[in-house]
Amino acid sequence: MKLLVCISKTPDTTAKIAFTDGATKFDEAGVQFILNPYDEWYALVRALELKEQHGGTVTVINVGGSANDAVIRKALAIGADDAVRIDTVAASSSVVASNIASYAGENNYDIVFTGKETIDYNGSEVGGMIAEHMGLPYISYASHLDHDGSKATVTRDIEGGVEVVSVTGPFVLSAAKGLAEQRIPNMRGIMMAKRKPLEVVKAKETESAVSVVSYSLPEEKQGVKMIDPDNMDELVRLLKEEAKVL
Partner 1 sequence: MGVLVVAESPKGQLKKAAFEAVHYAYLSAKNLGGEVIALVIGESSDAGQLGTYGANKVVRVDYNGGFDSGVMCSIITQVAEHVGAHSVILNHSSTGKSVASRVAVRLDAGLVSQVNSVPTKDGDAILVSKPVFSGKAIAHCKIEGPKRVLTLMGNALPPAEVGSTCPVELVSVDVPTSNVEVIEQKTVEGVVPLPEAELVVSAGRGMKDPGNWSIIEELANTIGATTACSRPVADTGWRPHHEHVGQTGVAIRPNLYIAAGISGAIQHLAGVNSSKCIVVINKDPEAPFFKAADYGVCADLFDVVPKLTEAFRKAQGA
Ligand X SMILES: Nc1ncnc2c1ncn2[C@@H]1O[C@H](COP(=O)(O)O)[C@@H](O)[C@H]1O
- Indicate which single residue of 138, 145, 173, 180 sits in contact with partner 1 (rule: CB under 8 A): 138
Q: Which is nearer to ligand FAD, 38 or 113 (CB)?
A: 38
Give the integer Cα–Cα distance in Å for 42 and 149: 20
How many CA atoms lie within 13 Å of 118's alpha carbon, on the beta-carbon side? 21
Site for ligand X in 11-50 (CB under 6 A): 36, 38-39
> Segment near partner 1 (CB under 8 A), from 49-57, 104-112, 126-134, 194-202?
126-134
Name which of ligand FAD, partner 1, ligand X, none residue 114 binds, using a CB cut-off of 5 to 8 Å depending on partner kind: ligand X
Q: Is 103 helix (H, G, I), strand (E, B) or coil?
A: helix
Report the residue number whose CB is nearest to ligand X.
115
Rounded alpha-carbon distances, angstroms, from residue 111 to 42, 149, 208, 234: 14, 11, 26, 56
Q: What mask of x and - would describe binding to partner 1 in positions 164 to 193, judged by CB under 8 A?
A: xxxxxx-x-----xx---------------
Contacts of 154 (CB under 8 A, 6+ apart): 139, 142, 144, 145, 146, 164, 165, 166, 167, 173
Binding of residue 189 to ligand FAD (CB under 6 A): no
Q: Which is nearer to ligand FAD, 37 or 56 (CB)?
A: 37
Q: How far is the CB of 37 from ligand FAD (least distance, A)?
A: 5
Binding of residue 43 to partner 1 (CB under 8 A): no
Binding of residue 37 to ligand FAD (CB under 6 A): yes
Give the integer Cα–Cα distance in Å for 78 and 136: 28
**Cβ proximity of 153 and 164 under 8 Å:** yes
Binding of residue 84 to ligand X (CB under 6 A): no
**Residue whose C-alpha is closest to residue 73's, from 158, 234, 210, 198:** 198
Name which of partner 1, ligand FAD, ligand X, none residue 64 binds, using a CB cut-off of 5 to 8 Å depending on partner kind: ligand X
Residues binding ligand FAD (CB under 6 A): 13, 37
